[in-house]
Amino acid sequence: MKVFQSKKAFLITFSMLISIFLVGCSNSEAGSSSSEETAESANSITLSWPRDIGPMNPHVYNPSQLITQSMIYEPLVSYGEGGELQPHLAESWTISEDGLEYTFKLRENVKFSDGTAFNAEIVKKNFDAVMKNASSHSWLGVINVLEKTEAVDDLTFKMILKEPYYPALQDLAVVRPVRFLGESGFPEDGDTSKGITAPVGTGPWVLEDYKKDEYATFTRNPEYWGESPKLEKVTIKIIPDAETRVLAFEKGELDLIYGEGAISMDSFNYLKETGEYQTDLSEPVGTRTLLLNSTNEKLADLNVRVALQHGFDKAAMVEGITLGLEEKADNILSTNFPYTDIEVKPVDYNVEKAAALLEEAGWKLPSGKTVREKDGQPLELEIMYDKTDPIQKAMSETLQAEWSAIGVKLNIKGEELTTQIERRKAGKFDVDFWYNYGAPYDPHSFINVVAKKGWGVSEAHTNLPMKAELDQQVQEALASTDETKRQQLYSSILTTLQEQSVFVPISYIKKTVVYQKDVKEFIFPANRDEQPFNEIEKSQ
């Protein structure tokens, strides 16, 4: 049977079909339009971010993103390299001898992007709005000890604490919730926890154009008090998928991919090896750590904990799994934080020593068995890891293999992140992954969770013989007004923790950046959460 009388009719239909299928392929407008977009303003950059930037409320958390909040809002004091605190919106400050009164001299001639003046009154108004919802911010130490605030005169702001708390200034350097919204951004009732009317800040950038889930464009703030950014425009495209980010970057739709885990380690190395782009790694921003739960009977023994540390080849594991993007860690806190530069004797990979320590602890290997036993109990532990984290998974598997060689059976259990956190808080784990907070939160936030219950870390240390003394030292360090004493306390706390081996440092986490050749040097911010893009330049 024939539907089409001639071959010609058939061919016409067939070619129409093909052309429909390949619809649009002949049109190259789309491609050129995106190239034009990049070339449109030589003095602008486009980067990607995995999530929408959110409503940019400076006093609440999700869904606003730290990176963009730091472009618009500024702190009184900022966190510089090595933890040095620098004047920002406060030109100078004095702290009373008892450590209770902080008086800030505000910078003159600072204006919000709407042209209104930045003064002590608006600083107080912001603090009041934050304190109205103090319970939401209880994680931040300064909020818990804040008694009241005062606008002494136009440019003098005072903060009075209930008790001395030395990291108060570090806490003021964080991105949220203690940065400043201009008057016109406040809702009528002044309660910013329910929303703001507009993101009005003193920072170098203003939000020019925004389409939820798609992009946000920032331009220079004409009222900015400091040196204006070198770029005219920063566009942030929302690309949730890491592989798509890499493809968009390769095509030239992005100038920059930046962040922690923004692209896979494979992709980073691939882009680096092409030689067509510039790549860089930051200083350590945090430590990937194993948390050994000392309330577990088996792990209550120091010898067992140290044996486990001797029992795996840390360097090989880190190199193999992170492809050189993380660095083997010997210290619990990397030494680029204040007070953390302590001498640590690295725990080497030594299977014999590990076995000897386990023997000493009474865990013997019965003949014909592969798992050590004591009083008929096998040396069996469980490690839990975040299911969605491929690095944690690979590391758990490596540990399982390595520890089996010293007669320890390790079961691995993937958990959803929320369950992992819940189990950690309830102390229902043997071995878990843990990370410190980074700058500007550490080292004070770190010692705080070592002493304060509710995060699972203090709980994991419960069985240490010197726990009470450790907690006491933490309290003293946080309240101390004497720099030398504080350093001594930190050294003592960190040394004890290192020796006790409840924390097993694995590797230092670093941020990665990949950028096109026409972007001049990229400088990583000292504050983990910030990136105001002030210093980036593009070659014309």
Determine the interface stretch with another protein among 107-115, 132-140, 333-341, 518-526 (rule: CB under 8 A).
132-140
Shortest distance, position 62 Cβ to another protein, whole Å: 5
**Which is closer to another protein, CB of 241 or CB of 297?**
241
Instruction: Decide: 460 and 501 in contact? Cβ < 8 Å.
Output: no
**Which is closer to another protein, CB of 212 or CB of 369?**
212
Instruction: Decide: 515 and 256 in contact? Cβ < 8 Å.
Output: yes
Shortest distance, position 188 Cβ to another protein, whole Å: 18
Interface positions, 399-428, toward another protein (CB under 8 A)? 416, 418-419, 421-422
CA atoms within 13 A on the CB side of 267: 19
* Count of residues touching another protein (by CB under 8 A): 58
Shortest distance, position 66 Cβ to another protein, whole Å: 10
Shortest distance, position 492 Cβ to another protein, whole Å: 27
Interface positions, 480-499, toward another protein (CB under 8 A)? none
Is 390 an interacting residue with respect to another protein (CB under 8 A)?
no
Query: Across-strand partners of 291?
Result: 432, 503
CB atoms within 10 A of CB 449: 19
**Which is closer to another protein, CB of 249 or CB of 339?**
249
Judged by CB under 8 A, the residue of 117, 139, 387, 479 near another protein is: 139
Interface positions, 26-55, toward another protein (CB under 8 A)? 27-35, 51, 54-55
Give the pair of three-digit tokens for residue 138: 């209880």
Burial track 256-289 (b if 16+ CB lie within 10 A, e otherwise): bbbbeebbbbebbeebbeeeebbbbbbbbbbbbb
CA angle 505, 354, 399 (to 5 degrees): 50
Judged by CB under 8 A, the residue of 162, 212, 485, 517 near another protein is: 212
Judged by CB under 8 A, the residue of 143, 172, 234, 248 near another protein is: 248
CA atoms within 13 A on the CB side of 436: 32
Instruction: Say which residue the tokens 């909040």 belong to.
Output: 69
Is 210 an interacting residue with respect to another protein (CB under 8 A)?
no
Cα–Cα distance measured from residue 418 to residue 185, given in angstroms and rounded to the nearest whole number: 34
Is 194 an interacting residue with respect to another protein (CB under 8 A)?
yes
Is 115 an interacting residue with respect to another protein (CB under 8 A)?
no
Cα–Cα distance measured from residue 367 to residue 387, given in angstroms and rounded to the nearest whole number: 36
Cα–Cα distance measured from residue 150 to residue 148, given in angstroms and rounded to the nearest whole number: 7
Determine the interface stretch with another protein among 231-239, 306-314, 434-442, 512-520 (rule: CB under 8 A).
231-239
Query: Residue 176: which residues within 8 A CB-CB, separation 6 or more?
Result: 58, 59, 60, 61, 64, 66, 69, 73
Give the pair of three-digit tokens for residue 99: 């450590």
Shortest distance, position 245 Cβ to another protein, whole Å: 9
Determine the straight-line distance between the first and last CA of the chain, rounded to whole angstroms: 68
Is 17 an interacting residue with respect to another protein (CB under 8 A)?
yes
Determine the interface stretch with another protein among 89-97, 164-172, 234-242, 362-370 (rule: CB under 8 A).
234-242
Give the pair of three-digit tokens for residue 65: 């993103």
Beta strand residue intervals within 293-376, DSSP E = 327-328, 373-374
**Which is closer to another protein, CB of 30 or CB of 39?**
30
Give the pair of three-digit tokens for residue 93: 């400050």
**Which is closer to another protein, CB of 406 or CB of 514?**
514
Residue numbers at the binding site for another protein (CB under 8 A): 1-3, 10, 13-14, 17, 20-21, 23-25, 27-35, 51, 54-55, 60-63, 135-136, 138-139, 194-195, 211-215, 237-241, 243-244, 247-248, 250-251, 253, 388, 416, 418-419, 421-422, 454
